[in-house]
Copies of this chain bind each other. A is one copy, B any other.
Amino acid sequence: MSGAPRRSSARKSPAERAAEIAEAARDLALEQGLTAVTLRGVAARTGVTPALVAHYEPSMDALAATTFASIVSAEISEVERLIAGLPTPTARLAALIDTLLDGTRDDVTVVWVEAWALGRSNEQLAASVRARMDAWQAVVQGVVEAGIASGEFQATDAASIAWQLLGMIDGLNAQALVRWGDAGARGSLTGHAVEGMLGLARGALGGAG
Contact = CB atoms under 8 A, between A and B. Distances in A.
A171 interface: yes
A177 B167 CA distance: 12
Interface of A: 33, 35, 110, 113-114, 116-121, 126, 129-130, 133, 157, 160-161, 163-164, 166-172, 174-175, 177-179, 182, 184-186, 189-190, 192-197, 199, 202
Nearest to A175: B167
Given A33-B120, A119-B178, A164-B186, 5 more contacts: A166-B171, A167-B174, A171-B174, A193-B194, A196-B202
A182 B163 contact: yes
B164 A189 contact: yes
B170 A166 contact: no
Contacts of A169: 171
B133 A174 contact: no
Contact of A179 (B117, B130, B171): B130
Which are the 10 A-B pairs with shortest beta-carbon distances?
A196-B196, A171-B171, A167-B172, A167-B171, A193-B193, A170-B171, A117-B117, A160-B185, A164-B189, A168-B168
B197 A199 contact: no
A178 B117 contact: no
Nearest to A193: B193
Contact of A164 (B133, B178, B190): B190
Nearest to A177: B116
Contacts of A164: 172, 185-186, 189-190, 193
Contacts of A166: 171, 175
Contact of A120 (B110, B170, B179): B110
A130 B186 CA distance: 18
A193 B178 contact: no
